[in-house]
Amino acid sequence: MDVKIESSWKEHLQAEFEKPYFANLAEAVRREYSAGVCYPPGSLIFNAFNQTPFDKVKVVILGQDPYHEPGQAHGLSFSVQDGVPFPPSLQNIFKEIADDLGAPIPPSGNLTRWAQQGVLLLNATLSVRAHMANSHASLGWQQFTDAAIRALATNRENIVYMLWGGFARSKAGMIDRTRNLVLESVHPSPLSANRGGWFGQHQFSRCNAYLQEHGITPIIW
């Protein structure tokens, strides 16, 4: 199957595109997008991969599935398009960055600027039906995105994996902690963050310190 995705990722994931599950997944996604409104726009489903080539990945931030309200999702986990109000989780991410690094709250929640610095903003499920969280979780996306994580874990090292919440933390077993840094915490959503374990973790400064220790340019958060 000829999938339109950034060339270095295509090379590492080509075997997935040839498997029966991916053909079934592609057909299921086409049906969903034909039957009603889905997010992100079809051209942005692989935006995380297209913005952050395989060999440029420094950090992985794993989300569960895209935002499901109009104008929000554009293929990057936790990110919203310019001019869209910050969802609660993103508000808490920016608050923690401000406390950790002293960086001001940015005017836009568009995190393309992170992706282009090497932050892979990957949702485990890459599409969703409008107004219905996790509605595409059973289509087969997770087999594909797990393969992407394994490809990084096998072929790259000195990557920082930021795993927030139980779902993301369940992926930790795929990552060799002797060759990478894994930062785990509760999810930044108010439901979790306000109970403790999100604020004050200094994940963003710890991430940058690790990158610098390994001769890698830190992220401008």
Catalytic residues: 65
Per the CB < 8 A criterion, the answer to whether 51 and 116 are in contact is yes
The residue behind tokens 């297209």 is 50
In this structure, what are the phi and psi dihedrals at residue 3, rounded to the nearest 5 degrees?
-95, 135
Q: Pull the structure tokens for residue 216.
A: 């890698």
Residue 204's closest CA among 177, 183, 187, 179? 183
- Please give the Cα distance from 98 to 160 (Å, whole number): 20
Q: At a CB cut-off of 8 Å and minimum separation 6, what does 177 contact?
A: none
In this structure, what are the phi and psi dihedrals at residue 100, rounded to the nearest 5 degrees?
-75, -45
Neighbours of 89 (CB within 10 A): 22
In this structure, what are the phi and psi dihedrals at residue 39, rounded to the nearest 5 degrees?
-130, 155
The residue behind tokens 């282009």 is 116
